[in-house]
Amino acid sequence: MAKKTKQTKEKRSGAPSQAGVRVAQFFKKNIYVILMIVCILAIATMITVAVVVNNKDNGDQVLKPIQSGDKEPDDPVITPPDTNEPDDPVITPPDVEEPDKPIIKEFILTAPLDSYTIGQEFFDTELVFDPTHNYWATHEGIDFTAEAGSDVKCMFDGQVKSITTDSYNGTVVVIAHQDGFETVYKLLDGVTLKEGADIKQGEVIGKVSDSALAEVASGAHLHLELKKDGKFVNPMEYMLQGDK
């Protein structure tokens, strides 16, 4: 009996265990599945390694410093076009002669007579006594007292604007000047000028009258008026200092 038990133990000790049998049966039964899983894991590992290596290479390219003067081999060399154009022709304008411009003198009046005295002065806002009419009125001019027949001269270059004659004022000559000025010469005789004629400073206009009725109580004289843009102004303010 004891001998049989001993043989039984020896037999059990040389045989595989039940766990080993089960493992062997599992592998035998699922060998294809296991091989497939191993292949998949191997492929996944290879892909992972390839991606890591590729990213490393790209990172090395990005982080590589670009040295001054380096040029990518693939960059095209662009040569700018020749922009040198022929010089534009120089056009010289023809000589154009400008018409002579009139020389504008300073408006300064010379004396209208060679010999005179100042009679009634200029009062355009105050009233002065008029002995001819025996009343008070403004006097919008200057009276140059002189002998009858004395030559009355143009006081500044201009053009004869108008000539009128009547028994009260005698002959009245209006001469237009530059800058809107006009001189008015009253109580004249012997005028031979024509309207529209040019006249120079110092040329004779006419003579002092002794027959005109205006201001006859003051004796023979030239009544001179000066206008600027149609308004009366004092002639003495525009006469040469020595003629005032």
Residue with the bigger pLDDT between 47 and 17: it is 47
Q: What is the mean pLDDT of residues 198-208?
A: 97
pLDDT computed for residue 10 by the predictor: 47
Q: What is the mean pLDDT of residues 99-128?
A: 87
Q: What is the mean pLDDT of residues 17-35?
A: 73
pLDDT computed for residue 62 by the predictor: 47
pLDDT computed for residue 83 by the predictor: 59
pLDDT computed for residue 195 by the predictor: 97
pLDDT at 94 over 50: yes
Question: Which of 59-73, 76-90, 152-166, 212-226 is predicted with the least confidence, judged by mean pLDDT?
Answer: 59-73
Q: Tell me the pLDDT band of 16, cut-offs 50, 70 and 90.
A: low
Distance CA 111, CA 156 (A): 10
Q: What is the mean pLDDT of residues 70-81?
A: 59
Which of 142, 140, 146, 139 lies closest to 117, judged by CA? 146
Distance CA 168, CA 189 (A): 12
Structural tokens at position 165: 């004659």
Distance CA 102, CA 124 (A): 34
Cα 84 → chain centroid: 34
Distance CA 42, CA 52 (A): 15
Question: What would the pLDDT profile of 29-67 be if each residue is shown by its tens digit?
Answer: 778 778 888 888 888 888 887 777 776 666 555 445 555
Residue with the bigger pLDDT between 138 and 79: it is 138
Q: Return the ∠ at Cα 125 (arms to 122 and 127), rounded to 5°.
A: 80
pLDDT computed for residue 36 by the predictor: 83
pLDDT above 70: percentage of residues in the chain: 68
pLDDT computed for residue 63 by the predictor: 46
In angstroms, what CA-CA distances link 137 with 21, 120, 129, 178, 188?
Answer: 158, 12, 6, 30, 22
pLDDT at 244 over 70: no
Q: Give the chain's mean pLDDT.
A: 81
